[in-house]
C-alpha cells in the first residue's frame, strides 16, 4: 500500500474518533464590573478593575482625544500601568476573555474611565527682590502645565497661603515689608480632568532695605538749602549722591546717619540734582536699599527774563522766555484788561514757553511768571519776572506762528513744521548762494548764536567734502541743530566750501534731545525731529534757552552714503576725531553732544 493511501485512511480514522468525543460547552464571559484609576504621576497612569470569574485574562484599551481605541496589552493581573506624557488626558476600558480551542471568547467592554497625568514639577525657580516691597518669582516652563499657582508662607498662621495664579513664567509679589525674608512655593497645574497639580517647588528671598521716602527739598534761600527724608526701617544710615552734568554720572557725596542735611554758604541760583539710598551692615558687609527718585535742589532760582510773545491770534496767546537750568517748573500769571493788579494763575509748565488758551477776548493782557524748585508741599519760588503786556488781536493768517517779535530774533524766511512742532529752513534758502567758511562760525557769536560744531571732512571722487553738524543757542529764545553737506574742487586751496548741488544731496534724518528733569529724574527727551529725506541742509529750531549748559543738548543723526567709498571716508573722519558711530549697510548713525578729543 502506498503512502498516499495510508494518509487518507489515517485522516478518516481521526474524523471517526472526533465524532465519538463528548461536546464541551463554554459559559458566556462576564463584563468587567468595576474599573478605576489607582494612581497617576507625571509619566504613568495605573488602572485597576474587578475580577471576572472564570476569565483567563484581560485586554486593556486606551483612547486619546479623537483617536481610535488602541489595544495596549493582554494581562492576567487586575491592573495595568501605562506610560504616557505629562499633562495628557486619556480614556481606558477593559474586557475579560476566555481561551477556547484555537480562539478566545470575550466579555463586554467595561465602562470608560478617564485619567490624566500630572504636569512636570517646575524647575529653575528663582526669587529676586526688585524693590524693598516686591519680589519677582521666575521659573522654567513645566511640561504639561496650563497655569501656575504661587503660595507664600504666613508667619502668623504658620501656613502657606495662595497669593495668585498665572499662565506666565513669572509672578510679582507686592506689598511686602523691607528687610524681611519671605518663603514661597510654586507648582504647575492643569484642568484636563479636574484640577491636577505637580509637586511643590520652594524658594526664599529677602527684600532689601526700605526705599527712602519723603526725600524733599525742605529749605531754600538765596544762600542755603536743606534736604530731608523719613526714617527707613532697619537702616543704619544713608548715602547721598550728586549728579554731575559734565560727566552725566552720579557721584557719591556724603554718608550720614541723620535724616536731613543742610548746605550753607552756597551762591545764588545754584542748581543740582540729588538722590539717596539707605544702608545697613550684615555680617560685616554693607547692604543697600533702592535709590530714591532724584530731586532738584539748590538755592532760590532767579526770576525768569526775556519774555516775548511767541504767538498772538484770536485763539490763544503763547509766551516764551529764557530757560533756567535746574528748576522744577514755572507758574504763569495773567492780569486781564482793566484789572491791572488782579493777577490770577493761568497755568504751570516745565518748558520755557506756555500757551494760554483761556484768553476771554480782545484787549491788552499782562503776563508775569516765576520759577520754582521742589515738589508737592515743598515748593520754593523765585521773584516774579517783569511784566509783559500783549495786545490780543486777530491776524489774517490764523495758522501763522510768527509775530513781529519773532521776526526780530531771526525767523524771517523760515518755515514751521506743525506735525513735528519746529521751525526749519526751506530747501533753497538764500544761504545756499554763499557756501560755507569757518569764519561764519566765528561771526555767529556776534548775532547771539552760541553754538558747538563738528566737521567731518573727507575726499570723495574728484572733490573735497565736508559734513558739518551744529547745535546750540540761536538768538535769545531758540535752540536748534543743523546738518549741512558741502564740497569744493580739490585744487581750491582756501577752506571755502560750496553748498552741495542737488546731485550731491544725501538722505538724512535728525533729532535733537534735551536732558530734562522729569519727576525729579534726569532723562533725554526729543524736542526736534526732521524726517528721513534728501537734503543738502537739514535744520530744526524750537523755543528754549541753554546758554548755561550746552551739554544738555545732543543731536542724533542718520546719513545714507552714496557708496562704500563715501562710507569709508566719513567713518574714518569720525574715528580720527574720537566719535562713536554705527553702520547699517550704507547708513551711518552717530550722536553729537559737543565732545572734544
State whether 437 and 546 are in the same domain.
yes
- Name the one residue in this structure whose C-alpha cell is 470575550: 106
Q: For residue 446, give the 3-state DSSP assignment.
A: helix
Domain count, the chain: 5
The set of cell numbers assigned to 409 is 530774533
168 within a domain of the structure (yes/no): yes
What CA–CA distance (Å, rounded) separates 463 from 450? 30
> In the prediction, which pLDDT does 596 show?
46
State whether 160 and 195 are in the same domain.
yes
Neighbouring CB atoms inside 10 A of 514's CB total 20
Out of 206, 240, 259, a domain closes at 206
State whether 108 and 131 are in the same domain.
no
CA 476 to each of CA 92, 368, 400, 424, 433: distance values in angstroms, whole numbers, following the listed order: 86, 18, 20, 17, 26
Determine if residue 102 is left, alpha or beta; phi over 0 gives left, psi from -120 to 50 gives alpha, anything else beta. left
The set of cell numbers assigned to 511 is 533729532
Out of 206, 241, 260, a domain closes at 206
CA nearest 254: which of 236, 268, 239? 239
Across 3-42, where does the E strand assignment appear? Answer: 35-40
State whether 504 and 476 are in the same domain.
yes
What CA–CA distance (Å, rounded) separates 126 from 363? 68
CA 18, chain centre distance (Å): 90
323 within a domain of the structure (yes/no): yes
> In the prediction, which pLDDT does 411 show?
43
> In the prediction, which pLDDT does 405 show?
41
Please enumerate in sequence order all residues whose Cβ is within 8 A of that of 365, keeping only pairs 6 or more positions apart, or say none. 317, 334, 335, 336, 337, 359, 389, 390, 391, 392
DSSP type of residue 234 = T
CATH number for 59: 2.60.40.10
25 within a domain of the structure (yes/no): no
Alpha-carbon radius of gyration of the chain = 42
Please enumerate in sequence order all residues whose Cβ is within 8 A of that of 55, keeping only pairs 6 or more positions apart, or say none. 29, 30, 96, 97, 98, 107
13 within a domain of the structure (yes/no): no
30 within a domain of the structure (yes/no): no
26 within a domain of the structure (yes/no): no
State whether 485 and 530 are in the same domain.
yes
State whether 161 and 239 are in the same domain.
no
Determine if residue 503 is left, alpha or beta; phi over 0 gives left, psi from -120 to 50 gives alpha, anything else beta. alpha
What CA–CA distance (Å, rounded) separates 345 from 367? 10
Strand partners, 554: 513
What CA–CA distance (Å, rounded) separates 547 from 550? 6
State whether 339 and 374 are in the same domain.
yes
Q: For residue 284, give the 3-state DSSP assignment.
A: coil
State whether 363 and 437 are in the same domain.
no
What CA–CA distance (Å, rounded) separates 310 from 222? 31
DSSP type of residue 519 = T
Cβ–Cβ < 8 Å for 193, 116: yes
CA nearest 215: which of 297, 308, 145? 297
> In the prediction, which pLDDT does 407 show?
38
- Name the one residue in this structure whose C-alpha cell is 519677582: 136
State whether 415 and 400 are in the same domain.
no
Q: Which domain holds residue 387?
A: 308-404
159, burial (CB in 10 Å: exposed 0-12, middle 13-18, buried 19+): exposed
> In the prediction, which pLDDT does 239 show?
96
Number of alpha carbons in the 13 Å side-chain half-sphere of residue 421: 3
Out of 97, 116, 135, a domain closes at 116
Cβ–Cβ < 8 Å for 471, 481: yes
DSSP type of residue 246 = T
The torsion angles phi and psi of 258, rounded to 5 degrees, stand at -80, 175
Ranges of the chain with pLDDT below 50: 16, 18-26, 394-412, 596-597
Cβ–Cβ < 8 Å for 18, 10: no
Across 76-222, where does the E strand assignment appear? Answer: 79-83, 89-100, 103-106, 113-116, 126-131, 134-138, 147-154, 159-166, 170-173, 181-190, 196-197, 201-206, 216-220
Instruction: Give buried/exposed letters for 171-198 (b at 16+ CB in 10 A, else e).
Output: bebeebebbbebebbbbbbbebeeebbb
State whether 449 and 553 are in the same domain.
yes
Cβ–Cβ < 8 Å for 227, 383: no
Instruction: Give buried/exposed letters for 482-497 (b at 16+ CB in 10 A, else e).
Output: bbbbbbbeeeeeeeeb
Cβ–Cβ < 8 Å for 384, 303: yes
240 within a domain of the structure (yes/no): yes
What CA–CA distance (Å, rounded) separates 462 from 479? 36
251 within a domain of the structure (yes/no): yes
State whether 358 and 232 are in the same domain.
no
Please enumerate in sequence order all residues whose Cβ is within 8 A of that of 3, keeping only pairs 6 or more positions apart, or say none. none
State whether 417 and 535 are in the same domain.
yes
Amino acid at each position: 500500500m502506498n503512502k498516499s493511501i495510508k494518509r487518507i485512511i489515517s485522516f478518516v480514522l481521526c474524523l471517526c474518533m472526533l465524532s465519538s468525543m463528548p461536546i464541551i460547552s463554554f459559559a458566556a464571559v462576564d463584563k468587567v464590573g468595576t474599573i478605576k484609576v489607582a494612581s497617576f504621576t507625571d509619566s504613568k497612569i495605573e488602572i485597576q478593575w474587578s475580577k471576572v470569574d472564570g476569565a483567563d485574562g484581560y485586554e486593556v484599551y486606551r483612547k486619546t482625544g479623537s483617536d481610535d481605541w488602541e489595544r495596549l496589552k493582554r494581562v492576567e493581573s487586575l491592573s495595568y500601568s501605562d506610560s504616557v506624557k505629562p499633562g495628557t488626558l486619556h480614556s481606558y476600558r477593559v474586557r475579560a476573555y476566555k481561551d477556547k480551542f484555537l480562539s478566545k471568547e470575550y466579555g463586554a467592554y467595561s465602562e470608560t474611565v478617564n485619567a490624566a497625568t500630572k504636569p512636570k514639577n517646575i524647575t529653575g525657580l528663582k526669587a529676586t527682590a526688585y524693590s524693598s516691597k516686591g519680589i519677582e518669582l521666575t521659573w522654567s516652563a513645566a511640561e504639561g502645565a496650563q497655569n501656575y499657582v504661587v503660595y507664600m508662607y504666613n508667619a502668623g498662621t504658620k501656613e502657606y497661603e495662595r497669593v495668585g495664579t498665572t499662565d506666565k513664567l513669572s509672578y510679582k509679589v507686592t506689598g511686602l515689608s523691607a528687610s524681611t525674608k519671605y518663603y514661597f512655593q510654586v507648582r504647575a497645574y492643569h484642568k484636563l480632568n479636574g484640577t491636577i497639580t505637580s509637586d511643590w517647588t520652594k524658594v526664599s528671598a529677602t527684600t532689601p532695605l526700605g526705599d527712602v521716602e519723603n526725600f524733599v527739598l525742605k529749605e531754600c534761600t538765596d544762600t542755603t538749602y536743606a534736604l530731608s527724608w523719613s526714617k527707613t526701617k532697619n537702616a543704619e544710615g544713608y548715602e547721598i549722591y550728586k549728579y554731575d552734568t559734565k560727566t552725566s554720572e552720579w557721584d557719591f557725596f556724603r554718608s550720614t546717619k541723620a535724616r536731613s542735611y543742610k548746605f550753607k554758604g552756597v551762591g545764588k541760583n545754584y542748581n543740582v540734582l540729588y538722590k539717596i539710598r539707605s544702608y545697613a551692615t550684615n555680617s560685616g558687609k554693607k547692604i543697600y536699599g533702592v535709590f530714591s527718585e532724584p530731586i532738584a535742589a539748590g538755592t532760590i532760582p532767579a526770576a525768569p527774563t526775556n519774555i516775548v510773545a511767541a504767538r498772538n491770534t484770536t485763539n490763544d496767546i503763547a509766551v516764551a522766555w529764557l530757560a533756567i537750568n535746574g528748576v522744577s517748573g514755572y507758574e504763569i500769571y495773567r492780569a486781564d484788561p482793566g484789572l491791572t493788579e488782579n493777577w490770577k494763575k493761568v497755568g504751570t509748565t516745565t518748558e520755557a514757553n506756555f500757551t494760554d488758551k483761556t484768553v476771554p477776548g480782545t484787549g491788552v493782557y499782562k503776563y508775569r511768571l516765576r520759577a520754582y524748585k521742589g515738589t508737592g508741599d515743598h515748593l520754593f519760588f523765585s521773584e516774579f519776572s517783569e511784566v509783559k503786556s500783549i495786545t490780543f488781536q486777530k491776524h489774517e493768517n490764523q495758522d501763522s506762528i510768527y509775530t513781529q517779535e519773532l521776526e526780530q530774533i531771526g525767523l524771517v524766511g523760515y518755515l514751521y513744521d506743525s506735525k513735528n512742532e519746529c521751525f526749519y529752513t526751506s530747501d533753497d534758502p538764500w544761504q545756499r548762494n554763499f557756501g560755507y567758511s569757518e569764519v561764519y562760525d566765528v561771526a555767529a557769536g556776534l548775532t547771539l548764536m552760541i553754538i558747538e560744531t563738528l566737521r567731518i571732512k573727507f575726499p570723495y571722487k574728484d572733490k573735497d567734502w565736508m559734513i558739518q553738524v551744529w547745535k546750540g543757542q540761536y538768538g535769545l529764545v531758540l535752540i536748534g541743530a543743523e546738518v549741512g553737506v558741502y564740497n569744493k574742487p580739490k585744487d581750491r586751496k582756501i577752506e571755502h566750501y560750496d553748498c552741495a548741488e542737488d546731485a550731491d544731496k544725501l538722505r538724512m534724518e535728525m533729532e535733537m534731545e534735551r536732558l530734562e528733569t522729569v519727576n525729579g529724574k534726569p532723562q533725554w527727551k526729543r524736542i526736534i525731529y526732521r524726517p528721513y529725506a534728501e537734503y543738502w541742509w537739514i535744520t530744526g529750531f524750537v523755543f528754549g534757552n541753554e546758554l548755561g549748559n550746552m551739554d544738555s543738548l545732543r543731536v542724533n543723526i542718520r546719513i545714507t552714503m552714496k557708496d562704500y567709498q563715501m562710507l569709508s571716508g566719513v567713518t574714518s573722519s569720525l574715528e580720527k576725531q574720537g566719535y562713536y558711530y554705527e553702520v547699517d549697510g550704507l547708513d551711518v548713525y552717530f550722536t553729537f553732544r559737543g565732545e572734544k578729543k
